[in-house]
């Protein structure tokens, strides 16, 4: 439990709300240099593969999903997924980020067969199935979280993305994502995954009408889980993309809120090694500035992105442009592996 009355908690809320923007940036930047003394900004070449858009969770902020039986609902075949991986490999990609809706028509064997198929025919690092999906599998197939994870790992799962974290405060989730893993459950999946040896990323999507204290609580809870297992490799935050969703009335938050939020995350999460800038939602220029507000990673070249673009936000780049953006911001761009280690120059 996070004690919101504790002086440390109140200090962080105050810092987040009141510190001048550049002061917040300076503190985050100092933490970034303490953790990453080299003048390097990493990036990865990977591809989002959304294996299905059929979902029964009905999150109010989601423009991507379709209800069962909707004409636009889809489930990718193994061959289609294999083709996407080969296209990615041709560009030097090293990982797929595979997530999907909570599709009630898919049996557990399908997921296991898919992982085995990929490892056998298109071997690549598989970063897949967010805690919300893992929780959905456990409920649907009558298994424990640990059983689900063990079976997925045996079939080929390499690491877990931090999708579906949104704001890890139950009252907020009850308003916008009632049918999805709750805050405790989401963190429990991550804790078990770390115990089993899986590395994971962790995210925060803000702008759901939550308070500053809710955002700080989210960060405190992440820090607490990290202190136990140490399995979070990176934190990524981005604002709600409200277009075409039930939360359209909330509007988009601005770049300053993004920079403040990422900066406070860098300061609070001193035990999470990497912070990824979200240029996909914020655009390239804010992405560059984010490198002075705590981020040491520019995320993914992102060959394919379906979720944010469904909500009307479409930022794209090329490898050359990505390298130039990092260099123009004053850093040496370096391609990395899925575990954030840097690849040799020629790779
Ligand atoms: S965010 Fe994920 S779980 Fe929620 S409705 Fe969209 S696809 Fe389903």
180 CB within 6 A, ligand 1: yes
Atom of ligand 1 nearest to the CA of 133: 3
Residue of the CA atom closest to atom 1 of ligand 1: 62
Confidence of residue 338 (pLDDT cuts 50, 70, 90): confident
- The DSSP secondary-structure symbol of 43 reads E
CA 328, 331, 332, 338 dihedral sign is: negative
Whole-number pLDDT of residue 200? 98
pLDDT digits (tens, 9 = 90+) for 189-217: 999 999 999 999 999 999 999 999 999 99
User: Is 274's pLDDT higher than 90?
Assistant: yes
Report residue 311 as tokens: 């909500």
Q: How far apart are CA 136 and CA 120, in angstroms?
A: 26
**Which is nearest to 203 in space by CA: 103, 101, 280, 304?**
280
Ligand 1 center from residue 61 Cα (angstroms): 8
User: pLDDT over 70 for what percent of the chain?
Assistant: 95
Ligand 1 center from residue 286 Cα (angstroms): 27
Mean of pLDDT values over 11-39: 98
132 CB within 6 A, ligand 1: yes
User: Is 333's pLDDT higher than 80?
Assistant: yes
Confidence of residue 252 (pLDDT cuts 50, 70, 90): confident
Whole-number pLDDT of residue 263? 98
Q: Do the bridges between strand 297-300 and strand 95-99 make them parallel or antiparallel, or are there none, so unpaired?
A: unpaired
The SS3 call for residue 94 is coil
Strand ranges across the sheet with 40-44? 46-50, 95-99, 125-128, 159-160, 199-206, 232-239, 274-276, 297-300, 40-44, 332-335
Whole-number pLDDT of residue 11? 98
Atom of ligand 1 nearest to the CA of 101: 7
57 CB within 6 A, ligand 1: yes
Ligand 1 center from residue 59 Cα (angstroms): 6
Ligand 1 center from residue 193 Cα (angstroms): 21
What is the chain's mean pLDDT, rounded? Answer: 94
Whole-number pLDDT of residue 304? 63
User: Is 93's pLDDT higher than 80?
Assistant: yes
Confidence of residue 346 (pLDDT cuts 50, 70, 90): low
User: Is 265's pLDDT higher than 60?
Assistant: yes
Confidence of residue 300 (pLDDT cuts 50, 70, 90): confident
Confidence of residue 47 (pLDDT cuts 50, 70, 90): very high
Whole-number pLDDT of residue 92? 87
In terms of pLDDT, which residue wins out, 153 or 45? 153
Helix or strand holding residue 318 (H, E) = none
203: which residues sit within 8 A by CB, 6+ positions away? 161, 162, 163, 165, 235, 236, 237, 238
Cα 122 to chain centroid distance, Å, stands at: 24
Mean of pLDDT values over 322-336: 95
Mean of pLDDT values over 51-61: 97
DSSP assignment of 122-164 equals S--EEEE--HHHHHHHHHHHT--HHHHHHHHHHHT--EE--TT
Confidence of residue 27 (pLDDT cuts 50, 70, 90): very high
Confidence of residue 343 (pLDDT cuts 50, 70, 90): confident
Whole-number pLDDT of residue 293? 98
User: Is 269's pLDDT higher than 70?
Assistant: yes
Whole-number pLDDT of residue 198? 97
Ligand 1 center from residue 16 Cα (angstroms): 29
Confidence of residue 317 (pLDDT cuts 50, 70, 90): confident
In terms of pLDDT, which residue wins out, 4 or 252? 4
Mean of pLDDT values over 54-71: 96
Ligand 1 center from residue 92 Cα (angstroms): 30
User: Is 142's pLDDT higher than 80?
Assistant: yes
Whole-number pLDDT of residue 318? 82
Report residue 297 as tokens: 């990673």
56 CB within 6 A, ligand 1: no
User: Is 345's pLDDT higher than 60?
Assistant: yes
Report residue 322 as tokens: 């990505």
Whole-number pLDDT of residue 313? 61
């Amino acid at each position: 439990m996070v004690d919101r009355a504790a002086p440390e908690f109140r200090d962080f809320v105050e810092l987040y709300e009141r510190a001048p923007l550049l002061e917040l940036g300076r503190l985050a930047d100092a933490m970034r240099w303490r953790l990453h003394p080299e003048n390097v900004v990493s990036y990865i070449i990977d591809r989002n593969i959304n294996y299905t858009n059929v979902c029964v969770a009905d999150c109010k902020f989601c423009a991507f999903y379709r209800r069962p039986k909707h004409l636009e609902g889809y489930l990718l075949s193994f061959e289609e997924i294999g083709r996407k991986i080969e296209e990615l490999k041709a560009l030097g990609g090293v990982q797929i980020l595979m997530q999907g809706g909570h599709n009630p028509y898919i049996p557990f064997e399908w997921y296991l067969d898919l992982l085995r198929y990929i490892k056998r025919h298109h071997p690549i690092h598989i970063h897949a199935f967010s805690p919300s999906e893992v929780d959905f599998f456990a409920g649907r197939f009558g298994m424990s979280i640990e059983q689900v994870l063990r079976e997925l790992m045996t079939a080929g799962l390499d690491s877990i993305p931090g999708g579906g974290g949104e704001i890890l405060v139950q009252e907020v989730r009850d308003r916008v994502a009632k049918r999805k893993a709750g805050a405790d459950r989401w963190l429990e999946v991550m804790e078990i995954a770390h115990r089993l040896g899986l590395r994971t990323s962790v995210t925060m999507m803000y702008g759901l009408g939550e308070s500053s204290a809710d955002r700080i609580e989210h960060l405190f809870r992440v820090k607490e889980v990290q202190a136990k297992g140490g399995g979070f490799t990176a934190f990524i935050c981005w604002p709600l993309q409200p277009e075409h969703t039930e939360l359209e009335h909330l509007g988009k938050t601005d770049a300053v809120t993004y920079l403040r939020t990422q900066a406070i995350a860098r300061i609070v999460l001193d035990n999470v090694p990497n912070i990824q800038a979200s240029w996909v939602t914020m655009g390239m220029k804010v992405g560059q500035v984010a490198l002075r507000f705590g981020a040491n990673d520019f995320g993914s070249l992102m060959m394919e992105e379906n979720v944010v673009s469904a909500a009307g936000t479409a930022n794209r780049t090329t490898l050359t442009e990505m390298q130039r953006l990092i260099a123009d911001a004053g850093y040496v761009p370096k391609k990395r592996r899925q575990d954030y280690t840097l690849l040799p120059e020629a790779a």
